[in-house]
Every structure is written in structure tokens, then in C-alpha cells.
Amino acid sequence: MDQRVMLLAPDHVSDELGGSYQDACQALDLEPTPGGYAIYLMDTMNHRTTVICANTGPVRQAKQDYESGGEGSLVNALNLDDILDIRIGWPEECGGGPRCQFCRNPDPTWLYEGADVEVLLGAPPFDIGSPQVIGTDVVGCMDWYACDVCHELIQAADQHSWHRLLDQYGFSHVPMPVQAAWCEFWLNHRRPEPAPPPAWTPARRRATANHLRLHWDEWAARYPLDDVVFTNEPGRPELAGVDRALAIARAYLHQPPPPGRIRSYPAGPASIVRADGNDWSLIGRTDSHAIILLDDVPEVLHPLKGPQTTSLLRGLEELIGAP
């Protein structure tokens, strides 16, 4: 079982979620309580579950231990009495969108209609070890996502490719229940189709902003601005959302937003600055350019550059340290 833990509290909101504590609670449909939450992201048997707990003490202690050079272990930190809610899947900001169901690649490119499998388990021999698989039931159809690599193995449909697909699981041993479900899929699936792009949502906009921050140099190399035509013309309908977001970001300079809506990260001699609003995100490097993402304009990166952009980014960064 893989496990990640995220602290959500008035004094800490993860970069994946971004924004203020109130923003993050609203995004996760949680009440912004003073004590905050510990959010456990479980990945068990190829299924993801989010467990929300009220007790943040173990997470804070582990975080403090890790920052002091320790391991930051959270073994046995989850107490059943502290659980407030259990949800299927993960928040989209934390990687909860579609993924390859074989290697867990977060960018699947193919979609299969395959068997929805219920694995029947029995007690292990002599009650020692893991439960044993005693059978499978196909209870319907479901979507199976696959990346390019796993797709090629599935399409090859030979014994060697089956074993290579098992190797894609990423661990030394694929649990037998997982193997049983995969085997039913291997024998019962339709022709693949290209996977549709995930829906553009506020959560995906925030996740994209964080991804841009983490991989700024890669994005800048992939989308060079040398051929982009910039304009300062006011009143262009196609730029109305950008103008509105910029106006709100500039207003932050005079009326600072709640803590967390502006973030800054070292980037060599410069900084990468991120600012969030209710339906937009601004991410930029103080010595280069910036990008605006809008909820109502899906999948579009709106680039900005020039002295005004640089001044805005630096002004926003200065607010972080202001009293």
C-alpha cells in the first residue's frame, strides 16, 4: 500500500491545492475548522481512497521531524476514531484524475472498455499470509486507461508481453488479486480508443499551475515565446478574462488577499511567483514571463511579458513578507 499524507490547516495549505485555507476547504467540500485536517491519500490494490481525519498532531510531528533531518515516519498514525470521512479517489489537485491502470502513469493516452472484475478471496492456507484468490466474477464493464507503453503490450497480446505488463506494476511482486483482475481484462476487452482529455475544472487549473511551477524550464522550452505576438490593445473580447484576472491581481498589491493566495519559490537568481483567484491562476518568473490560466478558457496558456508583468510579479512577491 502506498500512502501520502497532506496537512490542511490555517497555517499550512499544500502547493497542490494552492490558495488560502478557506479556498482549499471549499475546494474539498470541508468546513474550515480552526484545527484543520490530516488528509491521507491511500493507494491500495490499484484503487485510490482519501481518508480525512481531524487529528493533525501526528502529521505535524512527522513534518517537524523530517524538517529536522529525521525520517518523518507516519507508521500507525491513522486512528479510526479520528476519521471524519472516507472518499473514493483522490482530489484532482493531488493526481486524482485518470491514470494508467497498469503502471500508474498520470497521463494515459488510451481507453479500453473492459471487464469490471470482482475478485473472490479466501482465507490463506493455515491462516498465514495474504488471502488467496478463489475465483473472479465479471460484474459488468468499466473503462481501463493505459499509457502508450502499456497499450503496446496489451496490443501485442502474447505471453511475453503479459509478463512485461506485470512488470509495469512497479513492485517486485504483483498481488494476486490484481493479477486476477488484469487477467480478466486481458481476455475481455474491446478495441482501444484515444483517451479523451480530462475535463477542465478549477481543480485541474490549480493542478496545472502547480505543474507549471515545478517544471517551468521544461514548459518554457516546449512553448517558446519568440513567435508569440503580444498586444497592449485594450478591450479585445478574447482577452477580457485575462484583463479581469490581471486587474484582480493588481488589486492584491493594494488590498492583500488571504495568506496562501500568493506564493513564491526560489528559481536561481530569480523567483517563480504564483497567485490564485476564484477562477484564475497566475504563474510567472520574475526575470522572464508569466502565464494566466482561466476556468472559462480550457486548456489555454495565456502568456504575459514586459515591464508591467515583471513589476506585478515582484510586487506580489513582496507582499508575502509584508506584515
Name the pLDDT band for 129 (thresholds 50, 70, 90).
low
The 10s digit of each residue's pLDDT in 247-256 is 999 999 999 9
Instruction: Report d(CA 99, CA 145) in Å as an integer.
Output: 6
User: Quick one: 138 exposed, middle or buried, by C-beta within 10 A (0-12, 13-18, 19+)?
Assistant: middle
For residue 231, pLDDT beyond 80: no
pLDDT of residue 220: 86
How far is residue 175 from each of residues 95, 172, 253, measured CA to CA in Å? Answer: 23, 10, 54
pLDDT of residue 123: 54
The 10s digit of each residue's pLDDT in 49-92 is 899 999 898 888 877 776 666 665 665 567 788 899 999 889 99
Q: What is the mean pLDDT of the chain?
A: 86
For residue 135, pLDDT beyond 60: no
Cell of 154: 496489451
pLDDT of residue 85: 94
Whole-prediction pTM: 0.80
> What is the dihedral sign for C-alpha 90, 52, 206, 240?
positive
Residues with Cβ within 8 Å of residue 142, at least 6 apart in sequence:
113, 114, 115, 116
The 10s digit of each residue's pLDDT in 139-188 is 678 899 999 999 999 999 999 999 999 998 876 677 777 888 888 889 88
Question: Which residue, 208, 231, 217, is CA-closest to 292?
Answer: 208
pLDDT of residue 252: 97
With H, G, I as helix, E, B as strand and everything else as coil, classify residue 319. Answer: helix
Name the pLDDT band for 261 (thresholds 50, 70, 90).
very high
- The DSSP secondary-structure symbol of 268 reads T
Helix, strand and coil in the chain, % to nearest 5: 35, 30, 35
